[in-house]
Amino acid sequence: MSGVIYWGLWLFFRVLGGLFFRFRTEGEHLFPKTGGVIVAANHASFFDIPFLGCAIRRRVVFLGRANLFPNQFLSWILQRLGWIPLKTNRLDRKAFGVALDHLKAGTPVVIFPEGTRTEDGKLQLGRPGIGYLVEESQCQVIPAYISGTFKVLPMGAKWPRLFPVSVFFGKSICFPGSDATNKKHQYEMIGQSVMEHIAQVGGISSPHHEV
């Protein structure tokens, strides 16, 4: 039943996007047709989730903030559809463990490396969580850039606006396994590299660490 609902919502947002947001995708052919893969995308709006989801012609699961949907019934439904609640104040090994199980089973996992929505539309720094997921799974990463959703529904806005939305996929990235003793630093470096690739896909400036 969850599969029927998932693909029903997929079709709904695909049609909605085409009718009201001139929704389009580029680079869909770069997305693997089988196997576990990590999809890493920028995060600008609540609309990122449905539009990125309907840009991928495979069923995926999403890692997202645990307090994103405070309603318990809604949270239960969304978890059935593939939302993995993630505690962002620390490295949530339980949530990442669920994500790793999905990857091992061949299901793509979507993660927003910035950890939260941008307040000004610019890319933020990647957090260590993406690095942990990459290191533990050794799966390839597909960088994705979502354009237009910040205009549609930025942080703080109550109602969406009509604005073109596009999803761009880049070539897969592979990170060789590391035996570095400072794992946190390794995770941070992977997060920074992934955000740089996302920026390249979107043709925009990448975020930089302050010196």
Mean pLDDT calculated for residue range 96-111: 97
Can you give the pLDDT at residue 210? 46
Q: What is the pLDDT of residues 25-78, one digit of tens each?
A: 999 999 999 999 999 999 999 999 999 999 999 999 999 888 777 778 888 888
Average pLDDT over residues 81-85: 90
User: Are 114 and 40 within 8 A, CB to CB?
Assistant: no
Residue 80 contacts residue 1 (beta carbons within 8 Å): no
Element (H, E) at 15: helix 2-20
* Site of tokens 């576990």: 36
- What is the pTM assigned to this prediction? 0.93
Contact at 8 Å (CB) between 205 and 198?
no
Q: Is the confidence at residue 209, as pLDDT, over 60? A: no
Q: Which domains does the chain have, with CATH numbers?
A: 2-202 (3.40.1130.10)
Radius of gyration of the chain from its Cα atoms, rounded to whole angstroms: 16
d(CA 115, CA 127): 7
pLDDT tens digit sequence for 150-201: 999 999 999 999 999 999 999 999 998 777 678 888 999 999 999 999 999 9
